[in-house]
Amino acid sequence: MAQRGTLGRPPGPRGHWLTGNTRAYEADRIGFLRRCHREYGDVFSYDEQTVFVIDPGLTHDVLTRTGHSFVTELAPFDMRRDLDEATAQATAWMSARRATWPGLNRAASAAADDRTVEILDAVTAGDAGGEVDVLTSMRAFTARAIADYCFGADAPGVPGLLHDLIRATQPFTESSYEFPAWLPLPRHRHFFHASRRLTDALTAIVRRRRAAPAGQTQEDLLGFLLAAEPAMPDDIVTSTLHSVLMGGHGVPAAALTSVVWELARRPGLVGELRDEADGPASGTAAPSTAARLPLAEAVVRETLRLYPPAWLMTRTARTATHLGDWSVGPGDDVLLNAYLIHRDPRWWQRPDEFDPARWLSGRPAPGPACLPFGAGPRVCLGSTLAMRQLTLATSRLAQRFAIESPNASSVALEFMGRLAPAGLRARFAPLGR
């Protein structure tokens, strides 16, 4: 058997002499990756600097070694290219992340349950039973929900700024091409402008809170952070909340859009969810949504398996290192593909089938082959909150509406920044009861 790293760089398609594999990838991203997976196996090179990994064990290995052998990034700009700068940023972020974690734990997340439902009701009331673009509607919900979670009564204005920033981020997440941040491109200007406006608004909120009379602690994430870490500098508080707002907005909205896609095609399942929502356990103070709303939670888990919004995670090697028996060099990108792992028949029975029951059988999920929230030191910071919000929203939508979609059977998944069915439209028709 080969020793670690002794096989050299993994093989892969050579592609066009000038454009490499970019055109084939852009024409059909997932089709291209499936073909490469079939031809070259679980680890293959895309170009001289990029390697794809579709093996659960190796994926966990890379995610676990983030911070040592690999770096990741929070911003859309490629700070990873400056490996020392990326490492310094990561050290600062990891300490802020540790401080924030308890503010997003199970008890803290559960305290927001009622507000989650109120905000969803307000957003769907605004849709007034008319046909909507589902992703836009779900973003309106998740933006308000995460702004409210962070700032409570100080949240107004934040969802609009978040909306602008996500739109400004889109050109980066949709493109395979990277341009240096200093290039004066319109999309760079838009991004920096939107990011600065959000930062300025958050800074103003943080300063107002600090200036508030003692004893006026707020029951939100900012209140928690200021009480737990009074010495944390304002710019760190602001940038931490910036990351939480960004992480807690676009990705969960993409996941909810996929939930709606499934519900629109499964009126029988919607009926079962409605029965569960109206049933005796729904109003209990059970500590977990799995105890209260097991079917709704299973629908969310199955949706995250079939349509993981963060379908591709990127790491950059800090040093020369190994990927199992293969080797990569410093600066090489390693792309980890949750979507293909979640649909691999080696780990999942009937992998392409939407079957929430697989989460109700009591059998554990095949551990490393299930990573909608990532893994390792940079695992999703908001996974507990996200599971609660998504489960409550799934249950509530089924309880209150008949979900009708004119294009659920014709839309397709878009393998861009965040995986979601592209252009899904739906009407949430209030039930007359």
Provide the binding-site residues for ligand HEM, judged by CB under 6 A: 72, 74, 97, 104, 146, 243-244, 247-248, 251-252, 255, 304, 309-310, 313, 372-374, 378, 380-382, 385-386, 390
Cβ nearer to ligand HEM, comparing 13 with 382 = 382
Cβ nearer to ligand HEM, comparing 226 with 304 = 304
| Angle at alpha carbon of residue 145, lines to 110 and 408, rounded to 5° | 105
Residue 142 CB, shortest distance to ligand HEM, in Å, is: 7
Cβ nearer to ligand HEM, comparing 255 with 264 = 255
Residue 278 CB, shortest distance to ligand HEM, in Å, is: 25
Residue 210 CB, shortest distance to ligand HEM, in Å, is: 22
Cβ nearer to ligand HEM, comparing 168 with 244 = 244
Residues 180 and 126: their CA atoms lie apart, in Å, by 41
Cβ nearer to ligand HEM, comparing 159 with 374 = 374
Bridge partners, residue 242, by sequence: none
Cβ nearer to ligand HEM, comparing 247 with 366 = 247
Cβ nearer to ligand HEM, comparing 45 with 258 = 258
Residue 432 CB, shortest distance to ligand HEM, in Å, is: 32
Residue 231 burial class via C-beta count within 10 angstroms: exposed 0-12, middle 13-18, buried 19 and up: exposed
Residues 359 and 361: their CA atoms lie apart, in Å, by 6
Cβ nearer to ligand HEM, comparing 13 with 242 = 242
277 within 8 A of 396, measured Cβ to Cβ = yes
Residue 308 CB, shortest distance to ligand HEM, in Å, is: 6
Cβ nearer to ligand HEM, comparing 13 with 93 = 93
* E-assigned strand segments in 303-362: 312-317, 321-323, 326-328, 333-337
Long-range Cβ contacts of 106-110 (<8 Å, 24+ apart): 106/287, 106/288, 106/384, 108/221, 108/224, 108/385, 109/384, 109/385, 109/388, 110/287, 110/388
Strands 326-328 and 321-323 turn out to be antiparallel
Residue that the structure tokens 């070259």 belong to: 40
Residues 221 and 229: their CA atoms lie apart, in Å, by 12
45 within 8 A of 12, measured Cβ to Cβ = yes
* CA 70 distance to own-chain centroid: 20
Cβ nearer to ligand HEM, comparing 13 with 356 = 356
Tell me how far apart the 2 most distant CA atoms of the chain are, in Å: 67
Q: Is the dihedral of CA 125, 126, 127, 133 positive or negative?
A: negative
Residue 144 CB, shortest distance to ligand HEM, in Å, is: 13
Residue 420 CB, shortest distance to ligand HEM, in Å, is: 11
Residues 288 and 384: their CA atoms lie apart, in Å, by 10
Residue that the structure tokens 């939930």 belong to: 259
Residue with the CB atom nearest ligand HEM in the bound state: 382
Q: From the CB of residue 337, how many other CB atoms can be counted at a distance below 10 Å?
A: 23
Residues 14 and 31: their CA atoms lie apart, in Å, by 17
Residues 125 and 148: their CA atoms lie apart, in Å, by 18
Residue 348 CB, shortest distance to ligand HEM, in Å, is: 18
